[in-house]
Amino acid sequence: EAQVTQNPRYLITVTGKKLTVTCSQNMNHEYMSWYRQDPGLGLRQIYYSMNVEVTDKGDVPEGYKVSRKEKRNFPLILESPSPNQTSLYFCASSWRLAGRPYQETQYFGPGTRLLVL
Amino acid sequence: EDQVTQSPEALRLQEGESSSLNCSYTVSGLRGLFWYRQDPGKGPEFLFTLYSAGEEKEKERLKATLTKKESFLHITAPKPEDSATYLCARTSGSRLTFGEGTQLTVNP
């Protein structure tokens, strides 16, 4: 089954304790991306990657790191989490049809709900 | 700065009562306009992509249209299972900017 998986699905942590949220896709997609979703602010793009070893900032990259060492995996790293990073996080992936944007038919993961105390 | 504004924020309809959701966006550099559906606690699900003014796409009771400044998601004779949050997003390249969504509730 084609899917994007995220782990963990729920996480409670404390300020300053480094954490990693994993994202994996089994569709051989080139493009992967991380978003956060907050009430009143909608979905905002954190980082994206157009291929292995190619990453770039989205609209809200501060406080986050990513890496893309393998095509299928795109982990999100919070080196020193703070309470304002409490949010619902989504990973997404897509392929690219020739001449079309990467985001066409973007598949989203189930989400990771993070609470930073 | 890319912006996407959706209206209304929330919409309640009776089953069978057709209506439209609006999405206005910054025009500069637009390469694609997307509609997604999001159910509570789940990730967004892709519905449509529109690329140029005048383009229309349909799927069951939903039809998306695009003008030079806006996109509309028309819902014809909705059913309770159409209840969800509908998200609009635009891309100007590799980045994707979402609106805040319209929460649609269809009462039986």
How far apart are the two ends of chain A, measured CA to CA in Å? 36
SS (H, E, C) B21-58: EEEEECCCCCCEEEEEEECCCCCCEEEEEECCCCCEEE
Inter-chain contact A41–B100, Cβ cutoff 8 Å?
yes
The model's pLDDT over B44-56, given as tens digits with 9 standing for 90+, comes to 999 999 988 999 9
Q: What is the mean pLDDT of chain B?
A: 92
Point out the residue among B32, B41, B87 whose CB comes nearest to the CB of A104. Answer: B32
Instruction: Tell me the chain A residues in contact with residue B93 when contact means C-beta distances shorter than 8 Å.
Output: 101
Residues of A with CB under 8 A from a CB of B: 4, 31, 33, 35, 40-45, 48, 50, 56, 58-59, 90, 92, 100-111
What distance in Å separates residue A17's CA from the closest CA in chain B? 26
The model's pLDDT over A54-105, given as tens digits with 9 standing for 90+, comes to 999 999 999 999 999 999 999 999 999 999 999 999 999 988 777 766 666 7
Where residue A50 falls (left for φ over 0; alpha for ψ -120 to 50; beta otherwise) is: alpha
Q: How many CB pairs under 8 A join A and B?
A: 64
In terms of average pLDDT, the best of A99-113, B39-53, B74-88 is: B74-88
The model's pLDDT over A19-57, given as tens digits with 9 standing for 90+, comes to 999 999 999 999 999 999 998 888 999 999 989 999 999
Inter-chain contact B95–A100, Cβ cutoff 8 Å?
no
